[in-house]
Protein backbone atom coordinates (compact mmCIF):
# COMPACT_ATOMS: atom_id res chain seq x y z
CA UNK A 1 0.00 0.00 0.00
CA UNK A 2 2.77 2.37 -0.57
CA UNK A 3 2.56 3.73 -3.96
CA UNK A 4 4.18 4.63 -7.11
CA UNK A 5 7.54 3.17 -7.10
CA UNK A 6 10.40 4.77 -5.46
CA UNK A 7 8.93 8.12 -5.92
CA UNK A 8 12.09 9.72 -6.90
CA UNK A 9 11.33 13.13 -6.49
CA UNK A 10 9.48 16.05 -6.77
CA UNK A 11 7.07 16.82 -4.35
CA UNK A 12 4.33 17.74 -6.73
CA UNK A 13 2.31 14.70 -6.00
CA UNK A 14 0.01 16.18 -3.58
CA UNK A 15 -1.54 13.22 -2.04
CA UNK A 16 -5.18 13.54 -1.39
CA UNK A 17 -6.28 12.90 -4.94
CA UNK A 18 -3.57 10.52 -5.77
CA UNK A 19 -4.57 9.17 -9.10
CA UNK A 20 -4.76 12.52 -10.66
CA UNK A 21 -1.16 13.04 -11.39
CA UNK A 22 -1.64 14.08 -14.94
CA UNK A 23 -5.18 15.14 -14.82
CA UNK A 24 -4.68 18.40 -16.66
CA UNK A 25 -3.04 16.67 -19.60
CA UNK A 26 -5.71 14.00 -19.70
CA UNK A 27 -8.46 16.58 -19.78
CA UNK A 28 -6.65 18.52 -22.47
CA UNK A 29 -6.40 15.44 -24.63
CA UNK A 30 -10.05 14.66 -24.14
CA UNK A 31 -11.03 18.15 -25.13
CA UNK A 32 -8.73 18.25 -28.13
CA UNK A 33 -10.08 14.94 -29.31
CA UNK A 34 -13.70 15.84 -28.78
CA UNK A 35 -13.31 19.16 -30.52
CA UNK A 36 -11.66 17.60 -33.57
CA UNK A 37 -14.14 14.75 -33.72
CA UNK A 38 -17.05 17.14 -33.58
CA UNK A 39 -15.85 19.24 -36.50
CA UNK A 40 -14.64 16.26 -38.46
CA UNK A 41 -17.95 14.47 -38.10
CA UNK A 42 -19.85 17.48 -39.38
CA UNK A 43 -17.52 17.83 -42.37
CA UNK A 44 -17.88 14.14 -43.20
CA UNK A 45 -21.63 14.36 -42.95
CA UNK A 46 -21.84 17.34 -45.25
CA UNK A 47 -19.42 15.87 -47.79
CA UNK A 48 -21.59 12.81 -47.93
CA UNK A 49 -24.93 14.57 -48.04
CA UNK A 50 -24.05 17.45 -50.31
CA UNK A 51 -21.40 15.91 -52.55
CA UNK A 52 -21.77 12.19 -52.08
CA UNK A 53 -18.08 12.11 -51.19
CA UNK A 54 -15.85 11.40 -48.21
CA UNK A 55 -13.06 13.09 -46.31
CA UNK A 56 -10.30 10.75 -47.49
CA UNK A 57 -11.37 11.23 -51.08
CA UNK A 58 -11.43 14.97 -50.60
CA UNK A 59 -7.95 14.88 -49.09
CA UNK A 60 -6.57 12.82 -51.91
CA UNK A 61 -8.02 15.15 -54.50
CA UNK A 62 -6.66 18.15 -52.63
CA UNK A 63 -3.15 16.77 -52.93
CA UNK A 64 -3.55 16.21 -56.64
CA UNK A 65 -5.08 19.60 -57.22
CA UNK A 66 -1.81 21.07 -55.99
CA UNK A 67 0.19 18.88 -58.37
CA UNK A 68 -1.19 19.32 -61.86
CA UNK A 69 1.38 17.02 -63.35
CA UNK A 70 0.20 14.21 -61.14
CA UNK A 71 2.26 12.09 -58.78
CA UNK A 72 2.81 8.47 -57.99
CA UNK A 73 0.98 6.61 -55.28
CA UNK A 74 3.89 6.43 -52.90
CA UNK A 75 4.28 10.17 -52.83
CA UNK A 76 0.55 10.54 -52.38
CA UNK A 77 0.51 8.19 -49.42
CA UNK A 78 3.39 10.06 -47.79
CA UNK A 79 1.71 13.42 -48.16
CA UNK A 80 -1.58 12.09 -46.89
CA UNK A 81 0.19 10.33 -44.05
CA UNK A 82 -1.62 7.06 -44.66
CA UNK A 83 -0.50 3.61 -45.71
CA UNK A 84 0.21 2.57 -49.27
CA UNK A 85 -2.55 0.05 -49.36
CA UNK A 86 -4.99 2.70 -48.30
CA UNK A 87 -4.18 4.89 -51.27
CA UNK A 88 -4.49 1.96 -53.66
CA UNK A 89 -8.13 1.45 -52.75
CA UNK A 90 -9.00 5.12 -52.52
CA UNK A 91 -7.53 5.82 -55.94
CA UNK A 92 -9.33 2.87 -57.40
CA UNK A 93 -12.71 4.16 -56.27
CA UNK A 94 -11.97 7.63 -57.62
CA UNK A 95 -10.97 6.17 -60.96
CA UNK A 96 -14.26 4.30 -61.06
CA UNK A 97 -16.03 7.59 -60.45
CA UNK A 98 -14.19 9.16 -63.36
CA UNK A 99 -12.46 11.72 -61.17
CA UNK A 100 -8.98 10.26 -61.34
CA UNK A 101 -6.71 9.03 -64.09
CA UNK A 102 -3.88 6.51 -63.78
CA UNK A 103 -1.12 5.88 -66.20
CA UNK A 104 2.12 3.98 -65.94
CA UNK A 105 5.14 6.01 -65.06
CA UNK A 106 7.31 6.52 -68.13
CA UNK A 107 10.47 6.03 -66.13
CA UNK A 108 9.61 3.26 -63.68
CA UNK A 109 7.55 0.28 -64.60
CA UNK A 110 6.65 -0.41 -60.98
CA UNK A 111 5.00 2.98 -60.52
CA UNK A 112 1.67 4.51 -61.47
CA UNK A 113 1.11 8.19 -62.02
CA UNK A 114 -2.26 9.55 -60.96
CA UNK A 115 -3.84 12.90 -61.69
CA UNK A 116 -7.27 14.49 -61.60
CA UNK A 117 -9.38 14.29 -64.71
CA UNK A 118 -11.00 17.50 -65.94
CA UNK A 119 -14.15 16.40 -64.20
CA UNK A 120 -12.23 15.56 -61.06
CA UNK A 121 -10.70 18.99 -61.00
CA UNK A 122 -14.04 20.66 -61.48
CA UNK A 123 -15.65 18.54 -58.77
CA UNK A 124 -12.83 19.18 -56.33
CA UNK A 125 -12.84 22.94 -56.83
CA UNK A 126 -16.56 23.08 -56.16
CA UNK A 127 -16.19 21.04 -52.98
CA UNK A 128 -13.19 23.01 -51.82
CA UNK A 129 -14.97 26.32 -52.12
CA UNK A 130 -17.91 25.06 -50.08
CA UNK A 131 -15.66 23.28 -47.61
CA UNK A 132 -13.82 26.50 -46.90
CA UNK A 133 -17.11 28.11 -45.98
CA UNK A 134 -17.97 25.28 -43.62
CA UNK A 135 -14.72 25.64 -41.75
CA UNK A 136 -15.15 29.37 -41.44
CA UNK A 137 -18.64 28.73 -40.11
CA UNK A 138 -17.38 26.30 -37.50
CA UNK A 139 -14.88 28.80 -36.14
CA UNK A 140 -17.11 31.80 -36.51
CA UNK A 141 -17.40 32.13 -32.75
CA UNK A 142 -13.70 32.85 -32.34
CA UNK A 143 -12.14 36.27 -32.63
CA UNK A 144 -9.11 36.69 -34.89
CA UNK A 145 -6.84 36.95 -31.88
CA UNK A 146 -8.17 33.69 -30.50
CA UNK A 147 -7.52 31.96 -33.77
CA UNK A 148 -4.00 33.24 -33.72
CA UNK A 149 -3.42 32.08 -30.14
CA UNK A 150 -4.83 28.67 -30.87
CA UNK A 151 -2.57 28.33 -33.89
CA UNK A 152 0.47 29.01 -31.80
CA UNK A 153 -0.45 26.82 -28.89
CA UNK A 154 -1.32 23.96 -31.22
CA UNK A 155 2.03 24.41 -32.90
CA UNK A 156 3.65 23.97 -29.51
CA UNK A 157 1.54 20.92 -28.74
CA UNK A 158 2.32 19.42 -32.10
CA UNK A 159 6.03 19.94 -31.62
CA UNK A 160 5.85 18.33 -28.20
CA UNK A 161 3.95 15.30 -29.48
CA UNK A 162 6.05 15.02 -32.59
CA UNK A 163 9.16 14.62 -30.53
CA UNK A 164 7.64 11.69 -28.67
CA UNK A 165 6.18 10.02 -31.75
CA UNK A 166 9.35 10.44 -33.75
CA UNK A 167 11.43 8.86 -31.01
CA UNK A 168 9.37 5.69 -31.23
CA UNK A 169 9.41 5.27 -34.93
CA UNK A 170 13.09 5.29 -35.57
CA UNK A 171 13.08 2.07 -33.67
Partner DNA sequence: GGCAATTACTTTAAGCTTAAAATATATCCC
Partner DNA sequence: GGGATATATTTTAAGCTTAAAGTAATTGCC
**Which residues form the interface with its own copies (CB under 8 A)?**
20-22, 24-29, 31-42, 45-46, 81, 132-133, 135-142, 144, 146-151, 153-165, 168
Applying CB under 7 A, the site for DNA has a residue count of 28
> In whole angstroms, how far apart are CA 154 and each of 3, 26, 28, 121, 150?
34, 16, 12, 32, 6
Residue 98, interface with DNA (CB under 7 A)? no
Tell me how far apart the alpha carbons of residues 166 and 171 are, in angstroms, rounded to a whole number: 9
Tell me how far apart the alpha carbons of residues 23 and 5 are, in angstroms, rounded to a whole number: 19
**Shortest distance in whole angstroms from residue 105 CB to its own copies:** 29
DSSP 20: G
70 by DSSP, 3-state: which?
coil
User: 89 vs 147, which CB is nearer to its own copies?
Assistant: 147
Touching DNA, residues 15-74 (CB under 7 A)? 45, 48, 54-57, 72-74
**Shortest distance in whole angstroms from residue 61 CB to its own copies:** 15
**Which residue ranges make up the site for DNA (CB under 7 A)?**
45, 48, 54-57, 72-75, 81-91, 93, 105, 108-112
Amino acid sequence: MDDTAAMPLDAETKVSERPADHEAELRLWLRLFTCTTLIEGEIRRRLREQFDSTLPRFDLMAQLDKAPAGMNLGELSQRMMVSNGNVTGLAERLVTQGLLERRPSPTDRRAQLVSLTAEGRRAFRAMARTHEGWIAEMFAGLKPGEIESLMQLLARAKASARKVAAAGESK
